[in-house]
Structure 1
Amino acid sequence: MVVTMRLSTVILPIYRWHDEGREVWRRAEELGFHAAYTYDHLAWRTFRDGPWFGAVPTLTAAAAATERLRLGTLVTSPNFRHPVTLAKDLITLDDVSGGRITLGIGAGGNGFDATTLLRADEEPWAPRERADHFEEFVPLLDRLLREPSVTQEGRFYSANEARNIPGCVQRPRLPFAVAATGPRGLRLAARHGQAWVTTGDPKLYESGTPEQSVAALRGQITRLGAACQEAGRDVAELDKILLTGFTPGRPLQSLDAFVDFAGRHFDLGFTEIVVHWPVPDSDFALPPEVFEQIATEALAQLR
């Protein structure tokens, strides 16, 4: 089997559709990206006090504005989603896009929008609670996207004759890209994922080195392989996606820097690298000409 590297982008949902949004998503397709994703948050980091639109409506509009580009979330989480309503949205998105949707899904974290739906006397979920919710969320969502009618009662999520007809355009359902680094999440990726997503080791972002990051990612892939073996799957069946912007170093400072970065991570086993669409005056600021050069020339230099 010949494995090739794919290059994708993540477009923050910050653009008014008729001012810039439509053209940004169309430009992503013109540049030849494999996929364009967006974050599924209610608010996020330094963007909390500025424009921030919903992921599902944004992707629906992007599906209508593009023809070939794969679309998806990086990532959706149980922080404010329920499997039953999410399944209905995803089936609709998959239909509108003609089968171009990938669901990036993760356990979520604290901060930003994780407490938006909580009462004043409620505490945010601890890491174990997030993992508990995620462990129930993913298998139920899997069933909802595969089966025309689902009834299931769980500790956190239930479905009572939840109907999803006609189901996904992609069969047996649209692909899951599961974000995980811990043992429970990796087991979910092995059992239910068509891809696995990581941002690297967050402990290394501020003070680590690129070499330490590569070693940490190698360890994550090794643990993913062990989880796949336990689940009776070949780890090679899963695409391995690295979302950049959260590892040490500056891989986007130039085309040469990115080609070197992508080559080292391709050697680790990654099959897709995702770069943020440039946002001026933010952590994702980048000269447009450098970004477009990376988009159009980097993969050719890796072959």
Structure 2
Amino acid sequence: MRHGVVILPEHRWSRAREIWSAAERLGFEHAWTYDHLMWRWLGDKPWFATVPTLTAAATATSTIKLGTLVASPNFRHPVNLAKELMTLDDISAGRLVCGVGAGSPVGYDAEIRGDAVLSPRERGIRFAEFVELLDRLLRRPVTSYEGVHYRAVGVRMEPGCVQSPRVPLAVAATGPRGMALAARFADIWVTSGKPNAFEAERYDQALPLLKEQNAAVDAACEAAGRDPTELDRLLITDAAVGGVLDSAETYRDAAGLFAGAGFTDLAVHWPRPEFPYQGSLDVLEEVAATVVRPQGGAK
């Protein structure tokens, strides 16, 4: 099991730098930040942009992997995003992971730009094109593409990604179409448990659904002709899956259950003093000292 943290982009860099540096110092193997223009629970609070934040984090750290959670078609275009990812991969010396997801059909990202509302079918087509084109752009020196929602004409990606064959893609998916995309294109499949659920269920009670999702991803891989063991599995907790960071003991117990269910990676949120993700930094530090560092990031 590999361990990570999600750090909200809510602090001025003078403070945020301390948090990103601490995540690396504590021994976490990956750290993520949300890729939104604004966010559901902190819509009237400070909220900084993702790519500049990860760029700064890359210069403040040296070993920890850094990721978007998750870039979506709600406001990202694959061509622009691919250029930014290639640059970030270079700045971080090959430590970037690109998390992608379809994005919520409601909320700030889908509304504040005044974009047209798409049907579920249209959103599914758009996300499939988004992932396919992003994959091509990150792999190839020159890409042209013609889709329903996206078009690319002779896009050059020089010098290309540091990582080979490209920056890893972490595809968030809980439904069959998204899981089929993950089976085709992802290096990591991402779930946070029950979709669109924001009342946390204790981790042991959430386990049956997580096992079902893992089995569905296995089936999607087999349908795509892919060995399911090639796909890593990342669980993001604290929204739908709760209780993990109540203590070092609950974290250790939860991590063991998740590993047994097939997950290779676990991420919790950096504790905040208030809702959402209210918690104790002392507990996180104890988790790092007793679970994360002794394990040494081993799978």
Same fold per TM (> 0.5)? yes
Residues 170-179 or 210-219, more deviating? 210-219
Question: Which of 75, 83, 86 is equivalent to 2:78?
Answer: 83
Query: What secondary structure sits across from 1:242 in the alignment?
Result: strand
Alpha-carbon distance in structure 1 between the residues aligned to 2:84 and 2:65: 17
AA in 1 matched with 2:166: R
Note the alpha carbon deviations across 1:214-247, whole angstroms, 9 max, x for none.
Answer: 1111111111011101111111111100000123
Residues 125-134 or 233-242, more deviating? 125-134
1:54-203 equivalent positions in 2, closer than 5 A: 54-109=49-104, 110-119=106-115, 122=116, 124-202=117-195
Alpha-carbon distance in structure 1 between the residues aligned to 2:295 and 2:142: 48
Note the alpha carbon deviations across 1:220-277, whole angstroms, 9 max, x for none.
Answer: 1111011101111111111100000123542211111111111111100001100101
- For the pair 1:9 / 2:2, whether they are aligned, the reply is no
Which residue in 1 is equivalent to 2:31? 36
Contact 2:28 2:288 (C-alpha < 8 Å) held by counterparts: yes
Note the alpha carbon deviations across 1:108-130, whole angstroms, 9 max, x for none.
Answer: 112132212225xx4x3333322
Alpha-carbon distance in structure 1 between the residues aligned to 2:278 and 2:200: 21
Question: Which of 236, 242, 247 is equivalent to 1:254?
Answer: 247
CA shift at 1:209, angstroms? 5.7
Which residue in 2 is equivalent to 1:292? 285
Note the alpha carbon deviations across 1:49-107, whole angstroms, 9 max, x for none.
Answer: 11111100000000011111110111111100000000000000000000000001111
AA in 1 matched with 2:209: A
Contact 1:7 1:295 (C-alpha < 8 Å) held by counterparts: no
RMSD value over aligned CA atoms?
1.8
AA in 1 matched with 2:5: T
Contact 1:259 1:301 (C-alpha < 8 Å) held by counterparts: no
Q: Which runs of 5+ in 2 are unaligned?
A: none
Which residue in 1 is equivalent to 2:267? 274
CA shift at 1:203, angstroms? 6.8
Query: What secondary structure sits across from 2:108 in the alignment?
Result: coil
- Percent identical pairs in the alignment equals 51
Residues 89-98 or 127-136, more deviating? 127-136
Note the alpha carbon deviations across 1:188-220, whole angstroms, 9 max, x for none.
Answer: 101100010000013765385645421111111
Residues 191-200 or 208-217, more deviating? 208-217
Contact 1:204 1:212 (C-alpha < 8 Å) held by counterparts: no
- For the pair 1:22 / 2:8, whether they are aligned, the reply is no
In the alignment of these two chains, the number of paired residues is 295
Alpha-carbon distance in structure 2 between the residues aligned to 1:78 and 1:204: 21
Contact 2:170 2:187 (C-alpha < 8 Å) held by counterparts: yes
Query: What secondary structure sits across from 1:197 in the alignment?
Result: strand
Contact 1:76 1:105 (C-alpha < 8 Å) held by counterparts: yes
Note the alpha carbon deviations across 1:119-144, whole angstroms, 9 max, x for none.
Answer: 5xx4x333332211111110111110
AA in 2 matched with 1:10: V
Which residue in 2 is equivalent to 1:240? 233
> CA 1:181/1:297 → structure 2, altered by over 3 Å: closer, same or farther?
same
TM-score by length of 1: 0.93
Query: What secondary structure sits across from 1:9 in the alignment?
Result: strand
TM-score by length of 2: 0.94
Residues 126-135 or 254-263, more deviating? 126-135
- For the pair 1:265 / 2:265, whether they are aligned, the reply is no
Alpha-carbon distance in structure 2 between the residues aligned to 1:238 and 1:298: 24
Residues 20-29 or 87-96, more deviating? 20-29
Note the alpha carbon deviations across 1:143-197, whole angstroms, 9 max, x for none.
Answer: 1011111111110000011111011000110100110011111111011000100
AA in 1 matched with 2:289: T
